[in-house]
Amino acid sequence: MNLHSLLKEKVSEFISIEYNLNFSDLEIQSTKKDFEGDITVVIFPLIKLLRKPPLEIGSEVGNFLVKESKYVESFNLIQGFVNLEISSEFYLKFLNEASEDDSYGFIKPKSTSPLFLVEFASPNTNKPLHLGHIRNILLGNSISKILHANGKNVHKTQIINDRGIHICKSIVAWLQYGENSTPNDHDEKGDFFVGKYYILFDKIYKKEISELINSGKDKSFAEKNAPILLEAQDLLLKWESGDKEVIELWKKMNSWVYEGFEKTYNDLGVNFDSYYYESNTYLLGKDIISTGLKNNIFFKKDDNSVWIDLTEEGLDEKILLRSDGTSVYMTQDLGTALLRYKNHPKMNGMIYTVGNEQDYHFKVLFKILNKLGFDWSQHLHHLSYGMVDLPSGKMKSREGTVVDGDELISEMKLNATELSKELGKIEEFTTYEKEELNSTIGLGALKYFILKVDPKKRILFDPNESIDFNGNTGPFIQYAYARIQSLIIKSKFSLTKINLDFEITQKEKNILKQLTQFPVAIKAAGDNYSPALIANFTFELVKLFNSYYQSTTILKVNDIEIKNFRLTLSSKVGEVIKSSMKLLGVSVPNKM
């Protein structure tokens, strides 16, 4: 029962009857808190169409809706806005229908529904996943769920950057200082183990630069000719030429990293439908570049490097192949894009979840694919997001100052454990139940804190602030859900129909109004690729319910009809909380 759709139909009917015109581009929104009303019709688009003053049009629309729609009781005008008062009958009918709908707000995809690919995670195999990766993973996973809830078929994928100079840096450092050890020898996760050698490479590299400068070489020469860097570059050339010994070593070290990644994904509750590897797609990228050269889309410079000139499009020249023939990120991204299209020729959209420092890269990538004549390039979208900072400052992976994702997850679980002890509300829980609850609270706090922020904005992540049971946090919302479940269990609640002439209070009406907005929030979150819209919706719903819970008797009321309504309302609030948090990848406990 979609009030927005009902109102749009009625206004279109009014325009057709009164003016013999067809019009459907109408905006319906919730009435702002400072004004009286429940739903607002924005009539600015009608001013140009009907050539009348906004107050005159608003009055005509309002009077028509009051007369012709049984759910509109009254209206008021604020310039180009018609604020409508909706009857209690509508909200009660909505509650009855929504209570029987276990998937309320969700559109179930069909086999013929549009297919969207969502790329996220996409790590390098030279270091563990850190806090920045965590935002990427949580954002991509949530967007996948939100698009699916909007009726889209979704395919979750990633490109693993498993080759290149950064990988060679880790290998060279391990060859020199690893003493042929393995992650098992040190009881370490494989990604953490390999990442140590990436950090070690940088330390040695800086030391060698200083030594060259002290010997009389200039800084530019030193940076390009440090011995350990030359070794890494030589290793990359050997890899690209198919040197068996180098390839076997590369496979071994990458396998350690993949095991580490999978553990982190499992801890976060994330999985993928497909994996692409740069070691495969960069060759296809080279073929694309060869074709582009033949068609004069790309050009070679004197040093044999390959470029594209996008200055006429307001961009710049972009390198596609180095002078020695080795590939760059753009090479493999071109190959990956084409391979994905070949694997999914019916895709209606491809979402790249990548930080905003790569905004320019994706503008160039999409432009190149368009110039190459690939029509499907029009369906590519870069989901750009801001970086994550800590109270101590920006993370730098080369210097080893990043927050390792696994350490962060462990810290969040530990914080939840300490908080549970302080509150002292789970003494009767078994050890297993306590561990499960603390994991749910800790991960819920992490996920919600990161996803409640608009993707475009930078985040200052504070673990202690995220796990507070008060305010706009995951635990605050999880506790509201657990409280509702306690009500349902104690009451032995069973669903019965609510009479449509039942009188509801303003607080009850406000909760019902918010519940009607759940499908709207899901659509908006999908259209804008923003889980923050789901988080904000849920926070507002929980605030409304908590205020109601604290001021209203629910279980100890004598009137059966009133008690049944309040439990039905509470139950639906709980279901929507669970559904909305599921879209964020957050679990909700039945008791806390």
Any residues with CB less than 8 A from the CB of 13 and at least 6 apart, and which?
Answer: 68
Domain ranges of the chain: 3-86, 120-389, 405-583
- Contact in structure between 531 and 449 (CB atoms under 8 Å): no
DSSP state of 31: P
pLDDT at residue 131, rounded to an integer: 86
Cross-strand pairs, 74:
85
Task: Report the share of the chain in percent with pLDDT over 70.
Answer: 98
Relative to beta strand 380-385, strand 388-389 is unpaired
Greatest pairwise CA separation for the chain in angstroms: 92
For the ranges 6-20, 321-335, 457-471, 563-577, the lowest mean pLDDT is seen at 457-471
Task: Tell me the one-letter amino acid at 259.
Answer: E
- Could you give the angle at the alpha carbon of 215 between the alpha carbons of 209 and 217, nearest 5°? 65
- pLDDT category of residue 430 using cuts at 50, 70 and 90: confident
- Containing 138, the helix (H) or strand (E) segment is helix 131-149
SS3 109: coil
Averaged confidence pLDDT in the chain: 93
Q: What is the pLDDT of residues 460-494, one digit of tens each?
A: 888 788 888 888 999 999 999 999 999 999 998 88
The whole-number pLDDT of residue 399 equals 47
Q: State the DSSP H helix or E strand holding residue 445, giving kind and residue range, or none if neither.
A: helix 431-451
Tell me the C-alpha distance between 135 and 457, whole Å. Answer: 12
More confident position, 154 or 410? 154
Mode of pairing for the β-strands spanning 72-78 and 81-86? antiparallel
pLDDT of residue 398: 43
Whether pLDDT at 519 is above 60: yes
Query: How many angstroms separate the CA atoms of 212 and 225, rounded?
Result: 9
pLDDT at res. 41: 94
What Rg, from alpha-carbon coordinates, does the chain have? 29
Task: Please write the tens of the pLDDT for every residue from 110-126.
Answer: 999 999 999 999 999 99
- Written out in words, the top-level CATH class of the domain with range 405-583 is mainly alpha
Q: Which two tokens stand for residue 310?
A: 């996008």
Measure Cα distances from 499 to 91, 94, 356, 488 in Å: 11, 12, 52, 20
More confident residue, 386 or 164: 386
Q: Which residues contact 552 (CB under 8 A, 6 or more apart)?
A: 505, 507, 566
Please give the pLDDT value at position 401.
53
Interval 528-550 mean pLDDT: 97
Say yes or no to pLDDT of 397 above 60. no
Outline where 215-322 has alpha helix (H): 219-225, 227-240, 244-268, 278-294
Q: What is the pLDDT of residues 442-454, one digit of tens each?
A: 999 999 999 999 9
Residue 378, C-beta contacts closer than 8 angstroms, at least 6 positions apart? 370
Question: At residue 282, does pLDDT exceed 80?
Answer: yes
Predicted confidence band of residue 89 (pLDDT cuts 50, 70, 90): very high
Q: Which residues pair with 179 in a beta bridge?
A: none
Percent of the chain with pLDDT over 90: 79
The residue that leads in pLDDT, 402 or 350, is 350
Cα-Cα-Cα-Cα dihedral sign, residues 520, 524, 525, 527: positive
**How many C-beta atoms lie closer than 10 Å to residue 58's C-beta?**
24
C-alpha span between 431 and 580 (Å, rounded): 29
Distance CA 84, CA 59 (A): 11
**Per-residue model confidence (pLDDT) at position 468:** 81
Is the pLDDT at 395 greater than 70? The verdict is no
- Cα–Cα distances in angstroms (integers) from residue 431 to residues 409, 410, 425, 428, 590, in the given order: 19, 17, 14, 9, 16
Helix (H) or strand (E) run with residue 582 in it: helix 560-583
**Is residue 215's pLDDT more than 90?**
yes
Q: Are 409 and 416 in contact (CB under 8 A)?
A: no
> In the chain, helix, strand, coil percent, each to 5?
60, 15, 30
Which CATH number among 3.40.50.150, 3.30.1360.70, 3.40.309.10, 3.30.1380.10 corresponds to the domain 3-86?
Answer: 3.30.1360.70
Please give the residue that has the higher pLDDT: either 408 or 181.
181
pLDDT of amino acid 389: 81
Mind spelling out the 3-state secondary structure of 177-202? HCCCCCHHHHCCCHHHHHHHHHHHHH
Q: Convert the pLDDT of each residue in 340-362 to its tens digit.
A: 999 999 999 999 999 999 999 99
The DSSP secondary structure of 46-98, one letter per residue, reads: HHHHHTS-HHHHHHHHHHHHHHH-TTEEEEEEETTEEEEEEPHHHHHHHHHHH
**How many residues are given for the chain?**
592
Q: How many whole angstroms separate alpha carbon 541 and alpha carbon 118?
A: 29
User: CA–CA separation, 506 vs 440, rounded Å?
Assistant: 34
Give the sign of the dihedral formed by CA 541, CA 542, CA 543, CA 549. positive
Domain 120-389, second-level architecture: 3-Layer(aba) Sandwich (3.40)
Which tokens go with 43?
């009539």
